[in-house]
Chain A
Amino acid sequence: MTLTLAVLVPLLPFLGALAGLAAGRRAPGLVRPLAVLPTIASAALAVAVACDLGTGRHLDAATRLTPTGSVPIDLAVHLDGFSTLLAVLVGVVAGCVQIYSTSYLRDDPRYSSYAALVSLFTAAMFLVLYSGDLIVLLVGWEVMGICSYFLVGHHWERGDARSASIKAFLVTKLGDIPFLFGIFALGADAGTFRISGVLGAATTGQLHHPTLIALLLLCGVAGKSAQFPLHTWLPDAMAGPTPVSALIHAATMVAAGIYLVARLLPVFLLSSAALVVIAVMAAVTMVGSALCALAQDDIKRVLAYSTVGQLGYMAGALATGDRDAAVFHLLTHGAFKALLFLAAGVVIHAAHTNSLTAMSRMPDLRRRVPDAYWTMTIGLLALAGIPPFSGFFSKESVLTAAEHAAHGEALTGGLGPATAVPTSVGWIVLVAGLLTGLLTAMYATRLWLVAFRSASPVPADTAQADPAQPGAAAGTAEPHAMRWPLWLLAVPAVALGLAGLHTTWLPSFLDGISLTPSGSTAILGTCVALAGVLVSYTAWRRATALVLDAATASPTLAAHELDESTRPEGTAAEPREITADLATVPGRTFTQALADADSAAAAASTGHAPDPARLLLGPLLGPAANGFGLDRLYAAVFVRPVLAAAQLVRFLDRDVIETYVAGAAGAPRLLGAAVRRAQNGNAQTYLSALLAGAVVLAVLVAVVQ
């Protein structure tokens, strides 16, 4: 029974995707139901599976399709608390995203393929979650990769979307190749690809190269979950439609890497070196991405960098051996980050720009999108880790795990000895986590204040009295399909954290490790978060005051003050880049959207918006806004040599090899021309040649004899 339901969960969206692709052109009316209904049904079934399985049990089932001769590949299902709970999360988020998309992309000409790809993506994620075999898991993993490629490149008319999709694909594949070898090494050592078999081999010490395997697998995880060296694709992937960002880059695909490490944690626990690597990777990711998030002007990029940072938290929790905390944070983060992205979509829809600077020039933005305003507030509070919200509990559970690990008593949940986790890992994660907590609170506050609370230096009455102000009339009433998924997601964003408080609630589904925050980290974490909020608020107040002063002060002083309080040139988001996304918003044509974006850009350039980022980051702002130049570094180190090599190959192909080819064609042509001249139609010439040949032959024969 449970098994049947569990098989249906990935199957329904898959069939929905196939039907959606098939029906897309012929029956446009069917696309919406075919997109929404299977996903919702899957979500319901996922809930049913989770309830049916209950706590503390796990279910393994497998069927072998065909013998492969060596290590067998099974169609296996492995259900436990981790997979069922994450499946519920994925189902709910995917359902919300599908409903939201029906409205957000209503007039998009490629909505049908978009919806089908989202369904296929959901199915692949379910497959990854439920699969009990590493090769089958890999199938889902790669299907997600290709769907991500298509969805990020949904607006392929735009160059940045194209390059972002290619970048996402290449970077994740760069991680996937070592990942594939890691799976092979794992299968070769364990003698099976079944996850249960692999874990059994890990406990009995059959794995001979745990560090190598763990590091190889880690490459794939870093690619998929956007960890430090391979994280650069995620901020660029925001070129996709906002719901895709919510689905892929918040709840599902990026979670797959974390989920995989959680599943295979016993393997990682065998190698303390791998754990240290994960910890360092997570720490660098966390702090760096938080700094980047603080400096970004594009609201979606802020959220993208924050996703990278939160994934760093999860990776840190895994490094300390506590997969319960990681999955707990994954669940709450999935809820509140999906909420944040969807709300950001509504805000972008209303403001017609991605740019925070431009948003701060719209005084009544808060009133125009009340739903988004309130749900985004909830989401940001959860993100910042303010106590009653879900983010607080899950983040505290991570910090608690790090604290335990730092004291040498890691909470491994019986997967391995506590001594398997070096204490340095705990310290690294703890320090980086606290620092990131501070920065997270700062950028969450900044985002909220700049987007919604900016007191515009432009007098409010002029802005309101101007009926031609673009966007003032449009977007006052967001469609229902874009509003109530926000509130649906707001519920877990607020309350999901409470589920970890008691050991019989959420932990009973998992390994049973207590998720209750310990006293010291709870106080420390809360203080850090509040400090971040206060610092950010103070900086914002000062920036606002400086901007207001600059309007009356002497030019040199004003310039200095403005320099202190606003964004430097070149770090603001390019408004035109996001207009194609806006063109899909109902009731607005592309030209209108373009005009809106232009006026927003004009507003951003003529006025001066207070931005605390400059005060908070100081000289770090420029590098942080550019992702610390990592893209440029990669371009210099990898992209340019590859391009140069391609040029060389092209040169070799065009000018060297083709010369031979052309010569091979030209020589017979010349020969043919020569032979052609001999073909003059004069029988006597032919006969002369014939007889001359005969004479030559005769002479040869005579001479040889």
Chain B
Amino acid sequence: MHLAYPAVLAALLFCVGLYGVLARRNSVLVLMSVELMLNAVNLNLVAFDVWLRDTLHAGQALTLFTITIAAAEIGLGLAIVLMVFRTQGTADIDRLRELADRPADQALPADADADPDLASDLAAADPDTASLTGSARGKADPA
């Protein structure tokens, strides 16, 4: 058999997987596309092993390893996806943009959200404010 058939098939399969990784929105589907790419590699390994026929059978042995690693990868990947889904409420990759570079005015509201807690902490810690409020209360109480 011509080596070109499995090689071309592997190349096309790899590119289909590549497209899936880049284009899919759901992260589980992205993982599936990764599997496709890994399988393309496996196909290559097997085909070249058959062609070269070395005594170590390196191609087939490495294929086995790859399959194993792929299994571990999909397990861990799905665990991560699940955790992200649990914390972020979505598994869509293009909504997970925590690393985006936001302009300063967009970053401010997040600070403002954190501010009230901080302010209240400060107010509690500040003895002057506490005494002021205390004295105000003291004045207000008799009235």
Residues of chain A whose beta carbon lies under 8 Å from any beta carbon of chain B: 676, 679-684, 687-688, 691
Contacts and interface: CB of A to CB of B under 8 A. Distances in A.
5 contacts: A679-B99, A679-B100, A681-B97, A681-B99, A687-B22
B33 to A, nearest CB: 11
Contacts of A684: 21-23, 93-94
Interface string B99-111: 1110000000000
Interface of B: 18, 21-23, 93-94, 96-101
Contacts of B23: 684
A400 to B, nearest CB: 88
B101 A691 contact: no
B106 to A, nearest CB: 12
Nearest to B100: A681
Contacts of B93: 682-684
A682 B100 CA distance: 7
A683 B101 contact: no
Q: Which 8 pairs show the lowest CB-CB distances between chains A and B? A: A681-B100, A681-B97, A679-B101, A681-B99, A682-B94, A688-B22, A676-B101, A680-B100
A681 B94 CA distance: 8
A687 B18 CA distance: 10
A683 B23 CA distance: 11
A684 B34 CA distance: 13
B21 A687 contact: yes
A684 B93 CA distance: 8
A681 B22 contact: no
A145 B99 CA distance: 66
Contacts of B100: 679-682
A457 B18 CA distance: 113
Given A679-B99, A680-B100, A681-B99, 14 more contacts: A679-B101, A680-B101, A681-B98, A682-B93, A682-B94, A683-B93, A683-B96, A684-B22, A684-B23, A684-B93, A684-B94, A687-B22, A691-B18, A691-B22
Contacts of B94: 682, 684
Contacts of B97: 680-682
A683 B98 CA distance: 10
Nearest to A683: B93
A688 B100 CA distance: 16
B103 to A, nearest CB: 8
Nearest to B102: A681
Contacts of A688: 22
A684 B23 CA distance: 8
A684 B94 CA distance: 7
A597 to B, nearest CB: 56
A674 to B, nearest CB: 12
Nearest to A679: B101
A681 B23 CA distance: 15
Contacts of B99: 679, 681, 683
A682 B94 CA distance: 5
A7 to B, nearest CB: 65
A125 to B, nearest CB: 63
Contacts of B21: 684, 687
Contacts of B98: 681
A688 B23 CA distance: 9
B101 A681 contact: yes
A321 B100 CA distance: 90
Contacts of A676: 101
B123 to A, nearest CB: 35
Nearest to A676: B101
Contacts of A681: 96-101
A687 B100 CA distance: 14
A527 B104 CA distance: 92
Nearest to B30: A684
A690 to B, nearest CB: 10
Nearest to A685: B94
A105 B94 CA distance: 81
Nearest to B94: A682
A676 B99 CA distance: 12
A138 B97 CA distance: 74
Nearest to A682: B94
A691 B23 CA distance: 13
A691 B20 CA distance: 13
B128 to A, nearest CB: 38
B51 to A, nearest CB: 22
Contacts of A691: 18, 22
B93 to A, nearest CB: 6
A309 to B, nearest CB: 72
A223 to B, nearest CB: 60
Nearest to A675: B101
B11 to A, nearest CB: 12
B20 to A, nearest CB: 11
Contacts of A682: 93-94, 97, 100
A680 B100 CA distance: 5
A681 B99 CA distance: 5
A481 B22 CA distance: 98
B39 to A, nearest CB: 18
B41 to A, nearest CB: 16
A688 B18 CA distance: 9
Nearest to B21: A687
Nearest to A692: B22
A682 B24 CA distance: 12
A681 B98 CA distance: 6
A691 B97 CA distance: 20
A688 B93 CA distance: 14
A459 to B, nearest CB: 76
Nearest to B103: A676
B30 to A, nearest CB: 8
Nearest to A686: B99
A159 to B, nearest CB: 47
B107 to A, nearest CB: 13
A680 B18 CA distance: 21
Nearest to A687: B22
A680 B98 CA distance: 9
B6 to A, nearest CB: 20
Contacts of A680: 97, 100-101
Contacts of A683: 93, 96, 99
A682 B101 CA distance: 11
A660 B100 CA distance: 32
Contacts of B22: 684, 687-688, 691
Contacts of B96: 681, 683
A112 B96 CA distance: 73
A676 B104 CA distance: 12
A675 to B, nearest CB: 9
B13 to A, nearest CB: 16
A680 B101 CA distance: 6
A681 B103 CA distance: 13
A688 B19 CA distance: 9
A679 B22 CA distance: 16
A177 to B, nearest CB: 55
A702 to B, nearest CB: 13
Contacts of A687: 21-22
A691 B33 CA distance: 15
